[in-house]
């Protein structure tokens, strides 16, 4: 049985690593090849998640092992044939990303529920 079939969907309750979150977020926008995906994840984080090629491809390999990302079979018209494989989010990847959205929304709601109002002059 493949690893992603054995793995439970409890990853939806655990916080995602920032690099992983931004890779999934970038793939939710569109299928992409490795280098462009790494750049999109960096840009989506406003540079706060500095992904090196080594860490990016380790994250990507783990995402593929977990069944969240797969290589896209078809290439887009006009793509350079020398370029690497395109990757896409799986339905499970979409569910995990949606779970992370719910988790983050609950955190924001909890903070909002505290009724904290910043005092003048404080951030």
Q: Is 59 helix (H, G, I), strand (E, B) or coil?
A: helix
| pTM of the predicted protein model | 0.77
Provide the angle, in degrees to the nearest 10, between the axes of the packed helices 34-44 and 53-65: 100
Q: Which residues pair with 70 in a beta bridge?
A: 88
Distance of alpha carbon 44 from alpha carbon 18, whole angstroms:
11
Q: Per-residue pLDDT tens, the chain, 123 aa: give them.
A: 444 444 444 444 689 999 999 999 999 999 999 999 999 999 988 889 889 999 999 999 999 999 999 998 766 666 666 667 899 999 999 999 999 999 999 999 998 888 876 666 555
Distance of alpha carbon 118 from alpha carbon 15, whole angstroms:
27
What size, in residues, is the chain?
A: 123
- Select from 123, 31, 119 the least CA-distant residue to 79: 31
């Amino acid at each position: 049985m493949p690893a992603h079939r054995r793995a439970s969907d409890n990853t939806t309750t655990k916080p995602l690593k920032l690099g992983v979150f931004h890779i999934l977020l970038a793939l939710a926008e569109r299928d992409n090849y490795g280098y462009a995906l790494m750049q999109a994840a960096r840009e989506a984080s406003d540079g706060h998640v500095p992904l090196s090629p080594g860490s990016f491809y380790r994250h990507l390999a783990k995402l593929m092992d977990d069944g969240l990302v797969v290589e896209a079979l078809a290439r887009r018209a006009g793509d350079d044939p020398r370029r690497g494989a395109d990757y896409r989010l799986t339905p499970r990847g979409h569910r995990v990303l949606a779970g992370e959205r719910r988790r983050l929304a609950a955190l924001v709601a909890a903070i909002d529920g505290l009724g904290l109002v910043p005092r003048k002059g404080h951030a």
